[in-house]
Amino acid sequence: MDTADDLFKRLEQLNDIGASLSRERDITRLLEHILLAAKAITNADGGTLYRMTEGGQSLRFEMLRTDSLHIAMGGTSGSPISFPDLPLRNEAGAPNDSLVAAYTAIHVQTVNIVDAYTEPNFDFSGTRRFDERTGYRSQSFLAVPMKDHEGEVIGVLQLLNALDPATHKVVPFSLADQSLVESLASQAAIALSNRLLMTQLEELFESFINLINLAIDEKSPYTGGHCQRVPALTMLLAQAVSDTTEGPLADFTMDERDRYELKIAGLLHDCGKITTPVHVVDKATKLQTLFDRIELIDTRFEVLKRDAELQALRQQLALRTCVDAQAEAAIGAQRQAALEALEADREFLRATNIGSETMSEAALQRVREIGSQRVWCNAAGAQAEFLSVNELENLSIRAGTLTADERKTINQHIVTTIKMLEQLPWPKHLKNVPEYAGGHHERMDGKGYPKGLLRDQMSVQARVMGIADIFEALTAKDRPYKPGMKLSQAMGIMNKFKDNGHIDPDLFDVFIKQGVYQRYAEQFLDPSQIDEVNF
């Protein structure tokens, strides 16, 4: 019999267990804590935890422990449980009262059995067969229903063979044992229900995030993959930094909540793009709006080539009254030269339109000369400038495919992202999401946007996301304006960014030393992109 001091100690133990259960976020570990705690406070040799299946038709084995037989199944043991579910009703639809756990769940009633072998009300034939195979002796049983805050049974906690602490002999579960386990089961059920509810809310929240990313993806197939790859790379690098034990980042650590917060920030880092015009996001060439206007310029070149042909033929016909072979040949040569010049200018503008290389001053001047020196006859029969002011502006973009105004439009997405995220009532463990997500276009030297922050004004997480965003953009193979870079080329550019104050040098060192770039490449890049990287 327990002394008052023993009971007090076990009550203290129960309180500690309740506190630890409320802190556990992982459902598998939570269930394991529940079973191990019940075994500990009753000094039971074995135990099984069942959970009610969806629909409440049966009990599912979640985990099983028997210390003396060294049996550990389910939970974090690494050994799955292959036992079938326990049906709560038989084939005729009657309650399955012959099984202890099923009876406990059906009638919401604790069952305390002194000796299974002499118990007349339940079927222990399966238990006897188990004992015969293993040499075990199943004796005392205690099965307690786990009820949530609404009184619904969500599981059953079953303990086996209480052991006397002094003699280690099997004894019945005492009334104190039963009372303590019932109290634990109540706390555990509420903790489990709360955790399940939190998990459902988190899943719902992440589903809304994925809904936003799906909307962005539907607008543009070139950004949907980015919204998934950047969070993945962010988490790879952040975990590598957290694992670092030396250097300037040795003190940086992340627990499970920190990782979840950063994951959410990664998923939402470009949510503002939902407001960005699709023709700007998808602008694959300099002249692209709703379509690539290079085709209009192609048409004008064809008109000029037609005009050159017609002019030459007219001149040749004019010579028919006095045949002059030499003059006709000269006209033909002029025509061919004009056609070749037109074709050269057309090919130049087509190449310029792609925007894959930075334009030289000579190339810019040639664009201006084509726009100002060539004229064409439009559909109305009037002579018009060969390049409109807007076309000339776009074809004169020095690098990339975006004009200054379009780049401002693109850059506005991060302002919109911050504005959207700051409107949400974030719980305490997610309060940094706007800062993490909103800082991925800042630079260490203060030349980034939208706030022009310096390195010391940014969290490590925001700096991590900045590296992830850039590296993903360089290596992405689904962008409309460029192919995915080779790994070595992308790493070379990243190294320059490290030296010129664009990205955090300490984080980039971890990126290299921990092989984060290699792991990401193996997971997300085409094999043709992966080559040797030397530093």
Tell which residue, 78, 54, 56, 74, has the closest CA to residue 66. 74
Each domain of the chain, given as residue ranges in start order, spans: 4-197, 220-281+406-529, 294-401
Tell which residue, 273, 211, 507, 243, has the closest CA to residue 409. 273
Condensed to tens digits (0 to 9), the pLDDT of residues 88-131 reads 998 888 999 999 999 999 999 999 999 999 999 999 999 999 99
pLDDT at 198: 82
Q: Is 468 exposed, middle or buried (0-12, 13-18, 19+ CB in 10 A)?
A: buried
How big is the CA angle at 219 (ends 216 and 220), to the nearest 5 degrees? Answer: 85
Condensed to tens digits (0 to 9), the pLDDT of residues 468-479 reads 999 998 998 755
Condensed to tens digits (0 to 9), the pLDDT of residues 11-48 reads 566 556 665 666 666 778 878 888 888 898 899 999 99
Do β-strands 141-147 and 153-163 pair in parallel, antiparallel, or remain unpaired?
antiparallel
- Residue type present at position 287: L
pLDDT at 195: 78
pLDDT band at 265 (very low <50, low <70, confident <90, very high): very high
Instruction: Give the integer Cα–Cα distance in Å for 451 and 413.
Output: 13
Model confidence at 159: pLDDT above 80: yes
What would the CATH number be for the domain defined by 4-197?
Answer: 3.30.450.40
pLDDT at 12: 63
User: Between 477 and 369, where is the model more confident?
Assistant: 369
Evaluated on CA atoms 177, 182, 185, 186, the torsion sign reads: negative
pLDDT at 390: 84
Q: Tell me the average pLDDT across 502-511.
A: 96
pLDDT at 434: 94
pLDDT at 173: 95
**% of the chain with per-residue pLDDT over 90:** 46
Condensed to tens digits (0 to 9), the pLDDT of residues 121-136 reads 999 999 999 999 999 9
Instruction: Give the integer Cα–Cα distance in Å for 313 and 275.
Output: 55
Model confidence at 7: pLDDT above 60: no
pLDDT at 382: 76
Model confidence at 169: pLDDT above 60: yes
Model confidence at 357: pLDDT above 90: no
Helix ranges (H only) for 423-459 are: 433-438
Condensed to tens digits (0 to 9), the pLDDT of residues 71-85 reads 999 988 889 998 999
Least confident stretch, 101-110, 283-292, 411-420: 283-292
pLDDT at 19: 58
pLDDT at 422: 93
Fold (topology level) of 220-281+406-529? Hypothetical protein af1432 (1.10.3210)
Condensed to tens digits (0 to 9), the pLDDT of residues 224-234 reads 577 889 999 99
Q: What is the average pLDDT score of the chain?
A: 86
Model confidence at 481: pLDDT above 60: no
The DSSP call for residue 273 is: G
Condensed to tens digits (0 to 9), the pLDDT of residues 422-453 reads 999 999 989 999 999 999 999 999 999 899 99
pLDDT band at 413 (very low <50, low <70, confident <90, very high): confident
Least confident stretch, 49-53, 363-367, 370-374: 370-374
